[in-house]
C-alpha cells in the first residue's frame, strides 16, 4: 500500500532528522476566531505527511498555488495535547543531557503565544508547550528517582521589552547566561512555576516570604526568576512607550547524577515566544515604534543568519550580532536539537505575511545543524543512520 509506505517513509525521515539533530519545523495554522466566520482563507491544503499548500487570493488557480513541506503540519482543529505529544520526546531529551531549543515564529496574532504558553489563565487542557513541558519534567524526574537523581531543575523566565538594553552575562551555567539581580525561588510543582510566571508577566514583585511559605522544605527544584524589564534596561524611557512584551524566553536547566555510575549530566531547554515577524511599513510608524520594529527585524534576521552559518559550516557563526542569538547560543549549535513552530494566520488578507513566514521556514527547514550529541555521551548515531538508510532503500525498491 503506497500510502502506508509513504507514511513509514516520513516517519523514518523524521527519525533520521532526530538522530542528525537537524532543525525540525512544525507548521501550525490557527483557526479563525470568534466573529470571523465567512472569511476567506489562504490555506488550500493540509496533508497528514507534513505537506501543505497556500493559495494567493489574487491569483486563485494553479499559478497562485504554492506547496510547502515540513516535518509536521497542524490544522486549525489541532489541540494543545496533540502538539505536545509530538514535542514531548524532544523535550525529554534534556533529561538525557541534550540542549534543546523550541521557538515560535510568525506574524503577530498567528498563535505563537497560544502554542508556547496557552491562553491567558489557561486551564490544564489549554496549557501550551511550556507548562506541559515543566509538568512532564517534574513527573519524569520523580519516576526515575531510583536510577537517576535530578539535583536541580532551574528555570529562568525572561520577558523582554528590548534585547539591546538587556544585560546578559556569561556564567558557568549550562545555559551560559545569567541576568544580574535575578533571584532564586524554590518551586516544587508546575503550579508554583505558573504562579511565578504570572507574577512576572504582571510585573509584580514576588514577595520572598510568601514564596518561602509555600515552598515547604523541598529545595530540589529551583526557579531562577528575573525582572529584566525593571532591572536591566539602561534607558527605559526609550522603550516603554507601548510597554509591549517583545520576546519571552523560558529556559530550563537540568542537572542530575546517574546513581550507578555517578556520572553527571546537564541539559538545557529554551522555549522562545519570538516577536512578531511582520514587516512594518516605514511610512506608517515613526519614533519608538519604528525603532522597535527595526530592532525586531534585526534580531530575527540575526537568528536566521546564525542558522544559515551553522548550515554552511561556516567558521564564523555570528551569535554575537544580537542578544537573542547570544541567549540561544547553547541550544542553537551542532550539539543541540532545535524545533521551530511556524505559526500561520489562515486569513486570505494575511497572504503576503504568510508567504514570507513560510519562505523563512522553508529556508530553515532544509538545513542540517550537524549531529546532535548528548552532553553525557555520544550516541551511536552513525550506525542508526545506516540502519534507517537501508530501510529507506528497501522501501524505495518495493515502490
Ligand atoms: P501571537 O502570540 O502570535 O501574537 P496569539 O497566540 O496571541 O498570537 O493568538 C492570537 C489569537 O488567536 C488569540 O486570541 C489566541 O487565543 C487565538 N489562537 C491562536 N491559536 C489558536 C488555536 N490553535 N486555537 C484557538 N485559538 C487560537
Ligand atoms: Mg504573542
| pLDDT for 110 beyond 70 | yes
110 CA to middle of ligand 2, Å? 8
Q: Could you identify the atom of ligand 1 that is nearest to the CA of residue 116?
A: 6
Residue to probe by mutation, ligand 1, list 79, 110, 111, most atoms within 8 Å of CB: 111
ipTM of the complex: 0.99
Predicted local confidence at residue 272, as pLDDT: 86
**185 in helix, strand or coil?**
strand
Predicted local confidence at residue 290, as pLDDT: 77
Predicted local confidence at residue 187, as pLDDT: 62
Predicted local confidence at residue 239, as pLDDT: 30
Residues placed in the known binding site = 106-113
Closest CA to 88 of 37, 133, 145, 154: 133
Q: Which residue stretches of the chain are H helix?
A: 2-20, 80-92, 112-116, 129-143, 190-201, 208-215, 228-231, 287-311, 323-328, 351-365, 381-398
Question: Strand pairing partners for 271?
Answer: 102, 250
| pLDDT for 78 beyond 90 | yes
Of all ligands present, the nearest one to the C-alpha of 108 is 1
Q: Could you identify the atom of ligand 1 that is nearest to the CA of residue 28?
A: 23
Closest CA to 330 of 268, 257, 245, 391: 268
CA dist., res. 126 & res. 275, Å (int): 22
Average confidence (pLDDT) over 41-68: 93
CA 363 to chain centre: 17
| pLDDT for 378 beyond 80 | no
Ion ligand 2: residue ranges with CB closer than 5 A:
112-113
Of all ligands present, the nearest one to the C-alpha of 247 is 2
12-42 pLDDT per residue, tens: 656 655 544 567 889 999 999 988 888 999 9
Of all ligands present, the nearest one to the C-alpha of 109 is 1
Average confidence (pLDDT) over 166-192: 49
| pLDDT for 376 beyond 50 | no
Q: Which residue has the higher pLDDT, 221 or 280?
A: 280
Average confidence (pLDDT) over 330-349: 87
Residue to probe by mutation, ligand 1, list 114, 248, 274, 296, most atoms within 8 Å of CB: 114
The cell 525521515 sits on which residue? Answer: 13
344 CA to middle of ligand 2, Å? 13
The cell 502506508 sits on which residue? Answer: 4
15 CA to middle of ligand 1, Å? 30
Average confidence (pLDDT) over 177-183: 44
Pocket of ligand 1 (CB under 6 A): 30-31, 33, 106, 108-114, 119, 276, 343
Closest CA to 253 of 265, 266, 244: 266
Closest CA to 264 of 146, 375, 143, 153: 375
| H or E, element range at 65 | strand 65-69
Predicted local confidence at residue 77, as pLDDT: 95
276-318 pLDDT per residue, tens: 888 877 677 777 677 777 778 888 888 888 877 776 677 888 9
User: How many H-runs (helices) and E-runs (strands) does the chain carry?
Assistant: 11, 14
Residues placed in the known binding site for ATP = 106-113
pLDDT band at 382 (very low <50, low <70, confident <90, very high): low
Average confidence (pLDDT) over 162-179: 39
pTM greater than 0.90: no
237 CA to middle of ligand 1, Å? 30
Amino acid at each position: 500500500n503506497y500510502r502506508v509506505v509513504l507514511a513509514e517513509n516520513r516517519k523514518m525521515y523524521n527519525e533520521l532528522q532526530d538522530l542528525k539533530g537537524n532543525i525540525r519545523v512544525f507548521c501550525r495554522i490557527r483557526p479563525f476566531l470568534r466573529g470571523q466566520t465567512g472569511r476567506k482563507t489562504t490555506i488550500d491544503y493540509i496533508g497528514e505527511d507534513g505537506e501543505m499548500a497556500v493559495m494567493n487570493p489574487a491569483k486563485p488557480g494553479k499559478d497562485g498555488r504554492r506547496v510547502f513541506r515540513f516535518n509536521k503540519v497542524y490544522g486549525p482543529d489541532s489541540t494543545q495535547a496533540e502538539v505536545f505529544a509530538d514535542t514531548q520526546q524532544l523535550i525529554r531529551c534534556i533529561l538525557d543531557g541534550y540542549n534543546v531549543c523550541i521557538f515560535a515564529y510568525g506574524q503577530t496574532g498567528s498563535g505563537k503565544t497560544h502554542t508556547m504558553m496557552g491562553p491567558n489563565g489557561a486551564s490544564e487542557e489549554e496549557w501550551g508547550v511550556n507548562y506541559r513541558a515543566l509538568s512532564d519534567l517534574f513527573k519524569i524526574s520523580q519516576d526515575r528517582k531510583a536510577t537517576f537523581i535530578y539535583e536541580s531543575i532551574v528555570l529562568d523566565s525572561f520577558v523582554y521589552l528590548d534585547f539591546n538594553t538587556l544585560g546578559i552575562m556569561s556564567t558557568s551555567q549550562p545555559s551560559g547566561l545569567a541576568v544580574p539581580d535575578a533571584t532564586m525561588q524554590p518551586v516544587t510543582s508546575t503550579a508554583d512555576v505558573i504562579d511565578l510566571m504570572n507574577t512576572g508577566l504582571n510585573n509584580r514583585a514576588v514577595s520572598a516570604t510568601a514564596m518561602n511559605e509555600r515552598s515547604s522544605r523541598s529545595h530540589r527544584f529551583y526557579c531562577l526568576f528575573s525582572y529584566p524589564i525593571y532591572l536591566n534596561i539602561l534607558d527605559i524611557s526609550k522603550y516603554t512607550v507601548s510597554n509591549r512584551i517583545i520576546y519571552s524566553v523560558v529556559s530550563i536547566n537540568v542537572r542530575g547524577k546517574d546513581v550507578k555510575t555517578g556520572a553527571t549530566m546537564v541539559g538545557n531547554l529554551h522555549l522562545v515566544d519570538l516577536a512578531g515577524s511582520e514587516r512594518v511599513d516605514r511610512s506608517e510608524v515613526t519614533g519608538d515604534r519604528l525603532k522597535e520594529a527595526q530592532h525586531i527585524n534585526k534580531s530575527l534576521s540575526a537568528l536566521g543568519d546564525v542558522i544559515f552559518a551553522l548550515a554552511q559550516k561556516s567558521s564564523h557563526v555570528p551569535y554575537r550580532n544580537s542578544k537573542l542569538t547570544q541567549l540561544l547560543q547553547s541550544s542553537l549549535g551542532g550539539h543541540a536539537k532545535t524545533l521551530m513552530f511556524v505559526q500561520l494566520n489562515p486569513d486570505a488578507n494575511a497572504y503576503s505575511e504568510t508567504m514570507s513566514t513560510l519562505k523563512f521556514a522553508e529556508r530553515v527547514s532544509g538545513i542540517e545543524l550537524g549531529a546532535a550529541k548528548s552532553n553525557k555521551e555520544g550516541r551511536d548515531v552513525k550506525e542508526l543512520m545506516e540502519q534507517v538508510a537501508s530501510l529507506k532503500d528497501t522501501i524505495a525498491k518495493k515502490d
